[in-house]
Structure 1
Amino acid sequence: MNTRAAHQAAPLSEAVRTRGGQVKEIPLIRIAPEERREVKARAFQAFLNADWAVFTSANSIDVTVDLLREYSDKSLKELFAGKKTAAVGEKTKKKLEGFGLVADLLPDTFDAEHLASLLVNDMSSGQTVFYPKSKQARTVLQDRLTKAQVKVLAAELYDTVPEQRSENALERSLLHREIDAVMFASPSAVHSFYRLSSVKARARFEERGCYAVIGPVTLEALRTYGATAIAVPDKYTIEGMLDSISQYKPDSDTEMGAEK
């Protein structure tokens, strides 16, 4: 099961099909962009004033591009000229490249903690960071940069909310064991899964199925609900997640990759 938002589901579904698998798309989240003009106007000015633009998700890039196109007639290359750009992971880096932009900084480990450490080491004194994020975003990146006396111009430009229209399809798929693995690409998808599904349906699925995650923060979110049937990848990419699913052993007492 591909739980990504409808507009982002295609790459993951295609990767599954390329491997000969079948995929059911049941989006558990949707993106709700910020609509208040005063908030967007402040965010646009913050972008213009910043030395760095830091992106921790593909969604943060999409909403930033929409913001810039709404408030300026200049091209993206012109608007980003003179700024450095940081991406939290390979997927975010490729999203930037899709808009003709380049990530100047990319951590070896794809999470906010390692990205913050790289930024602190790479930034010059007095530089500022534009940080577009969701209302559900963790505070770790902003907290670590602020602690290092980096000025962060944070802008909450969107919210990630449960996709209520998927509730019936999700419940039916779990109860009838129509799927072997549920794939999560964000903590928000995990939270929506537990909000939209029943205990009975999850228990039925977990008799044979497993959960799969694409990042450490998503794994952490899943573990908070007590889930144990988790296929943990060695590398947090789409391919790594799919590898972990194919290698998962239902009778194992430990999660795949847990000892690595």
Structure 2
Amino acid sequence: MNNSNPLAGDTLVLTGTTVTQAVAEYIEQLGGRAVHLPLIEVVERTTEDNEKFIAAMDADWLIFTSQSAVHFFKQKLIRYGYTAQHFHAKVAVVGSKTAAALQQLGFTIDFTPSVFSADVFIQEFQPEIVEKCVFFRGNLAKSTIPDGLNFHVECYTVYDTIQTAAHMPALNELLTERVTIIFASPSAVDVFEAHKASKPYHVAAIGHITKTALENAGEMNIIMPHTYTMRAVIDELVKQKGTN
């Protein structure tokens, strides 16, 4: 392995809805090639707005577990003419990127779990008094948070996740031993497994829920770092290449 360009000759396929410029540049700095072929799309849901949006301003806690939820929450803030100052709730998040997106909107983050996962969140999130808690989520979010907390959680679905196989032909054309496909959700895994070609490839997961989905699909040797971020996946790939 070339220590200055450890990913030289490797292609990393990113299957999430968006890819930041920083992530793409980081892969390229390591000598790799970043290809964005999303297997899911997200669209705003507005049918649950009106009362739910206004009611959220009276909550004790707001919970966000994805950047997409923050993105569409931001769209609603703009649409209805509100800012972070109109909300007096504390804010709990899963994920450093989710936290950063909310901080850019002017919110202070009051709680994050030690592991960026909903099942760890419900173990560690133990506020003393909660009269009203609102969970901003997508339509495919599991019930882990509302079911796992010992108080009532109002769920506010702000976006819908739609699976798409539109990029699978291009993805299948890329598949070789030098390709690693990075998944951040079970939904993307489902699309890939339903349409993949019989060619060699490697897989990586952000989070143990996504890793479990890959394992259930029969994938082997799944790369997954302890920290559930895209950069951590890339670093773990570099680390494993260095030990081979």
Residues 42-53 of structure 1 aligned to structure 2 (within 5 Å):
42-53=51-62
**Aligned pair partner of 2:29 in 18, 22, 25:** 18
Aligned-pair Cα RMSD in Å: 2.2
Asked if the contact 2:92/2:112 (under 8 Å) is kept, the reply is: yes
Paired amino acid for 1:19: L
Aligned to 1:255: none
| % identity of equivalent residues | 27
Change (3 A) 1:224 1:213: same
Select the residue among 40, 63, 66 that pairs with 1:54.
Answer: 63
Unaligned stretches of 5+ residues in structure 2 = 1-12
Q: Deviations over 1:131-178 (max 9, x none)?
A: 011111111111012xx1x1211011211112333132122222xx28
User: Which residue in 2 is equivalent to 1:204?
Assistant: 199
Q: Distance in 1 between matches of 2:164 and 2:26?
A: 23
In structure 2, C-alpha distance between the alignment counterparts of 1:185 and 1:13, rounded to whole Å: 16
Q: Within 1, Cα distance between the matches of 2:52 and 2:109?
A: 20
Name the CA shift for 1:106/1:161 in 2 (closer, same or farther; >3 Å): same
Match of 2:7 in 1: none
Question: How far apart in 1 are the matches of 2:184 and 2:136?
Answer: 19
- Equivalent in the alignment of 1:237: 229
Alignment of 1:240-251 (within 5 A): 240-248=232-240
Contact 1:2 1:12 in 2 (8 A): no
Report the counterpart of residue 152 of structure 1 in structure 2: 153
Q: Secondary structure at the match of 1:49?
A: coil
What residue number does 1:2 align with? 14
* TM-score, normalised by the number of residues in structure 1: 0.81
Distance in 2 (alpha carbons) for counterparts of 1:114 and 1:10: 29
Q: TM-score, normalised by structure 2?
A: 0.86
Judged with a 3 Å threshold, the aligned counterparts in structure 2 of structure 1 residues 179 and 32 are, in CA distance, closer, same or farther, namely farther
Tell me how far apart the structure 2 counterparts of residues 102 and 20 of structure 1 sit (CA, whole Å). Answer: 37
Q: Please identify which structure carries the higher helix content.
A: 1
Alpha-carbon separation, structure 2, partners of 1:192 and 1:62: 24
**1:31–1:160 contact (8 Å) kept in structure 2:** yes
Look up the match of 1:112: 118
2:133 paired with 1:129: yes
SS at match of 1:101: coil
- Over residues 185-236 of structure 1, what are the superposed CA-to-partner deviations in whole Å (9 max), with x where a residue is unaligned? 22222222223x23xx1x412xxx3111121221122112111131121322
Q: Distance in 1 between matches of 2:165 and 2:187?
A: 13
Matched, 1:188 2:187: yes
Number of matched pairs: 231
Q: How does 1:29-178 map to 2 (within 5 A)?
A: 29-36=40-47, 39-71=48-80, 73-74=81-82, 76-80=83-87, 82-119=88-125, 121-124=126-129, 126-145=130-149, 148=150, 150-174=151-175, 177=176
2:215 maps to which of 223, 229, 236: 223
Q: Which whole-Å CA distance do the structure 1 matches of 2:86 and 2:128 have between them?
A: 20
Q: Which has the higher contact order (CA 8 A, sep 6+)?
A: 2
How far apart, CA to CA, are the structure 2 residues paired with 1:226 and 1:142?
Answer: 30
